[in-house]
């Protein structure tokens, strides 16, 4: 039984960009079989960062989240595939790198909870809301038919 095809948001945060780990992260996503359907390198402004982290507004760490995500360029990815939301979160690992599964991006490369390299949407509703913050409809380049054609030979 196949799972539903989903699209999720992955952010390679400023620490991933500054440490030269974007290629590693993208490579792991693609090797897992996920398809990058949109990608932007950008400097996030405060308003967009606050919208992205709106569920944390009012929490003690909210200002630090906004400050960090706007501190340098990031790479936003729209990633598509079967079971992508859960699969990407598994590939990335737990928020705390010390608790992340061995072999996950965060276990292998992240230093602290506050500098954990990557964001991944945690549900279909979050993915829809977050993707709309980072991408317009015209940003998407569907590659699914190419992938299916390649698999079939």
Residue 40 is among the residues annotated as catalytic for this protein: no
SS (H, E, C) the chain: CCCCEEEEEEEECHHHHHCCCHHHHHHHHHHCCCEEEEEEEEECCHHHHHHHCHHHCCCCCHHHHHHHHCCCEEEEEEEEEECHHHHHHHHHCCCCCCCCCCCCHHHHHCCECCECCEEECCCHHHHHHHHHHHCCHHHCCCCHHHHHHHHHC
Q: Please say if the pLDDT value at position 143 is more than 80.
A: no
Q: Is the pLDDT of residue 15 over 60?
A: yes
- Contact indicator for 127, 7 with CB cutoff of 8 Å: yes
pTM of the model: 0.91
- Given the residues 40, 52, 56, 119, the one annotated as active site: 119
Q: Which domain holds residue 110?
A: 5-152
Angle at 119 between CA 44 and CA 136, to 5 degrees: 55
* pLDDT band of 32, cuts 50, 70, 90: very high
Which tens digit of pLDDT belongs to each residue from 59-84? Answer: 999 999 999 999 999 999 999 999 99
- Number of independent structural domains in the chain: 1
CATH number at 10 reads: 3.30.70.141
* 3: confidence class by pLDDT, cuts 50, 70, 90: confident
pLDDT at 12 exceeding the cut of 80:
yes
């Amino acid at each position: 039984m196949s799972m539903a095809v989903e699209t999720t948001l992955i952010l390679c945060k400023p620490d991933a960009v500054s440490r030269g780990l974007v290629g590693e992260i993208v490579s792991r996503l693609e090797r897992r079989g996920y398809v990058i359907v949109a990608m932007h390198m950008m400097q996030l402004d405060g308003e967009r960062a606050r919208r992205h982290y709106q569920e944390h507004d009012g929490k003690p760490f909210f200002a630090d989240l906004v400050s960090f995500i706007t501190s340098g360029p990031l790479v936003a990815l729209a990633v598509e595939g079967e079971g992508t939301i859960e699969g990407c979160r598994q590939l990335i690992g737990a928020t705390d790198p010390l608790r992340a599964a061995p072999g996950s991006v965060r276990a292998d490369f992240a230093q602290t909870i506050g500098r954990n390299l990557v964001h991944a949407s945690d549900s279909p509703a979050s993915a829809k809301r977050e993707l709309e913050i980072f991408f317009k409809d015209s940003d998407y380049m569907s590659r699914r038919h190419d992938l299916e054609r390649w698999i079939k030979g």
